[in-house]
Structure 1
């Protein structure tokens, strides 16, 4: 049972123990609201797999901006956010499920000509700390994106400089790629699947290039579900964990992972 209404959140005591409330936001290819790949994002498939594997639970889906999802959870309202980075320091108030899937870390996304310049000067994989010091290149950081061990380099060398742009608005992580191709900025940092989505939905996407980052060499990102840190969240995480093995084998979820992460994705 899926409820997409935007009514007010109920208190923990008022919600049945078997309800699972999902907070989703428009962030392709994690969640895709429209177009050819509507409802076929990685996280769309993850939520659908949990619905299939936990039919005894009522699954409520609420479409919300990511900032509001985080705010609601920090206020101890009942909500789960699929496809978060497990044990991320940026969401240290969440309760995390076991690992649901794995994917490669961020890389540099730029146009083909700039990619040649970057790799010639800073290597392949690119040494990001050195790249961040390059005052001839303009960097764009989408709203809500944080970069873990790379963030200090951005804060030290790019933030508050004339070659830094903060990109806000819905689907900012996709809009920034259009800005690269329109020569408004030179590069950004994101997952390769963001480039893949852009290439499949825009005619000029083939002009984009992805460069792995040396500081992330050998690392793998673990995805998980994050739930509110309260009694409801504890029960819900236990329920989700009981189904994760089956979810990982779910054919729909596996197809979504292959579609956006590729068949050679981390496993």
Structure 2
């Protein structure tokens, strides 16, 4: 199905009020005090997960999660380091002590130990211009990523080092070995991919609707649309925090898991999460043809 991001005049005011409330709420919680154990939070410039600058600075989904955990865990010292996602993974592979708060939840690996679930994202889907994607739209309003990967006239774009659930990653891997593929590096790559699509330089990407919402809020554009994929359908994506797979990481995950129930049950935290889960409407099926 196709989902058009809906923005109303009160959205920006609601966002500002919500962020002020979150800041006030979390500032009233006990502040972390160093007591022999430090969690190093590695973040990257990838709105709306981490927002490094602008009107929504420090109000990304995972920015607020870090702030809430820091306040809820006063026995732990917390430090935050900004770096590219590929460097974060490299350092974790080298067993450097760090946690990355915005990962798809998977089985523990040689690189990452995962916390309990922190969020369920709306399904990853196809974002692009409706006229470009219309020939691939199926009767149920969804688009098959496999069809797009086999198309010889379309070009996919994505941020460097971004990975997807296996059911989708296999098609990304297939198209990545062709000339119909582009990876964007550097700051704010998630949104810059959408800008390239709007300019006609890339045809589609695979993303969450919340990223399209951030793009519309900050760029004032509404030309792009989001379609669910045939492969994933309406299935949400579980998120989790990943910490380096070593003894330090085991301790970090244990401490975080003990704090998560309080954070995730907080009405204010839940409202912040709901804000970034894009407001959408589903048009009549006839409107998608």
Structure 2 Cα separation of the partners of residues 195 and 183 of structure 1? 16
Alpha-carbon distance, 1:162 to partner: 3.1
TM-score of the pair, normalised by structure 2: 0.79
TM-score of the pair, normalised by structure 1: 0.85
Asked if the contact 1:97–1:241 (Cα under 8 Å) also holds between the matched residues in 2, the reply is: yes
Q: Deviations over 1:141-194 (max 9, x none)?
A: 3211223322222333x2333322222222222111111111111111111111
**Match for residue 177 of structure 2?**
160
Gaps of 5+ in 1: 4-14
After alignment, is 252-261 or 71-80 more displaced?
Answer: 252-261
Of 45, 56, 66, 2:75 maps to 56
Asked if the contact 1:96–1:224 (Cα under 8 Å) also holds between the matched residues in 2, the reply is: yes
Of 214, 219, 223, 2:230 maps to 214
Asked if the contact 1:32–1:44 (Cα under 8 Å) also holds between the matched residues in 2, the reply is: yes
**Match for residue 124 of structure 2?**
106
Report the secondary structure of 1:50's partner residue.
helix
Q: Is 1:33 equivalent to 2:52 in the alignment?
A: yes
Alpha-carbon distance, 1:252 to partner: 4.2
- Number of residues paired by the alignment? 249
Task: Describe the shift of the 1:234–1:259 C-alpha distance in structure 2 as closer, same or farther (beyond 3 A).
Answer: same
After alignment, is 139-148 or 105-114 more displaced?
Answer: 139-148
Of 240, 250, 254, 1:238 maps to 254
Task: Describe the shift of the 1:220–1:199 C-alpha distance in structure 2 as closer, same or farther (beyond 3 A).
Answer: same
Structure 2 Cα separation of the partners of residues 216 and 185 of structure 1? 22
**Match for residue 114 of structure 2?**
96
Of 155, 162, 166, 1:145 maps to 162
Of 240, 247, 259, 1:224 maps to 240
Structure 2 Cα separation of the partners of residues 250 and 142 of structure 1? 32
Q: Is 1:68 equivalent to 2:87 in the alignment?
A: yes
Alpha-carbon distance, 1:119 to partner: 1.5
Task: Describe the shift of the 1:218–1:188 C-alpha distance in structure 2 as closer, same or farther (beyond 3 A).
Answer: closer
**Match for residue 100 of structure 2?**
81
**Match for residue 169 of structure 1?**
186
Report the secondary structure of 2:51's partner residue.
coil
**Match for residue 6 of structure 1?**
none
Asked if the contact 1:111–1:209 (Cα under 8 Å) also holds between the matched residues in 2, the reply is: yes
Structure 2 Cα separation of the partners of residues 162 and 76 of structure 1? 35
Alpha-carbon distance, 1:46 to partner: 0.5
Gaps of 5+ in 2: 1-30, 281-289
Task: Describe the shift of the 1:262–1:174 C-alpha distance in structure 2 as closer, same or farther (beyond 3 A).
Answer: closer
Asked if the contact 1:103–1:222 (Cα under 8 Å) also holds between the matched residues in 2, the reply is: yes
Alpha-carbon distance, 1:16 to partner: 5.7
Asked if the contact 1:23–1:61 (Cα under 8 Å) also holds between the matched residues in 2, the reply is: yes
Report the secondary structure of 2:91's partner residue.
helix
Alpha-carbon distance, 1:135 to partner: 1.3
**Match for residue 287 of structure 2?**
none
